[in-house]
A = this chain, B = another copy of it.
């Protein structure tokens, strides 16, 4: 069993904001992350899959297929987008790093099985100081 990690990046706007709350309460709880006019990040995404090494090719999975899958199912929906407004799989969810990681897992889990490997971890790095990792249920 070998673990392969692919990094991709996306630049997106978002805010932490609960519609049922007042602006005051949003700012109190979420601080500067609740700026009404949005802010944004250069997110780094690390997708780790695991599987047996194919004895002929030496591959767990063709990394070009993994890259194309991540770009099609995830990056296209997040890069140069507004996570809250534009990303279908983040609707009706807080756009925290935690939830983005879970959302990306749900986009990729079944598809990676089709490629012959198993999704192990989705890690989202929001800034150089903060990241969230999800290993499935």
Contacts and interface: CB of A to CB of B under 8 A. Distances in A.
Interface of A: 1-9, 11-14, 16, 18, 29-33, 35, 37-42, 53, 56-60, 63-64, 67, 79-82, 85-86, 93-99, 101-102, 127-135
Nearest to A125: B5
A43 to B, nearest CB: 8
A6 B130 contact: yes
A130 B63 contact: yes
A59 B11 contact: no
Contact of A13 (B32, B37, B86, B96): B37
User: Interface on chain A toward B: helix, strand, loop, or mixed SS?
Assistant: mixed
B53 A40 contact: no
Contacts of A127: 9, 11, 42
Nearest to A14: B40
B37 A86 contact: yes
Nearest 8 A-B pairs (CB), nearest first? A40-B40, A58-B94, A58-B96, A32-B80, A37-B82, A13-B38, A13-B13, A39-B80
A32 B99 CA distance: 24
B131 A4 contact: yes
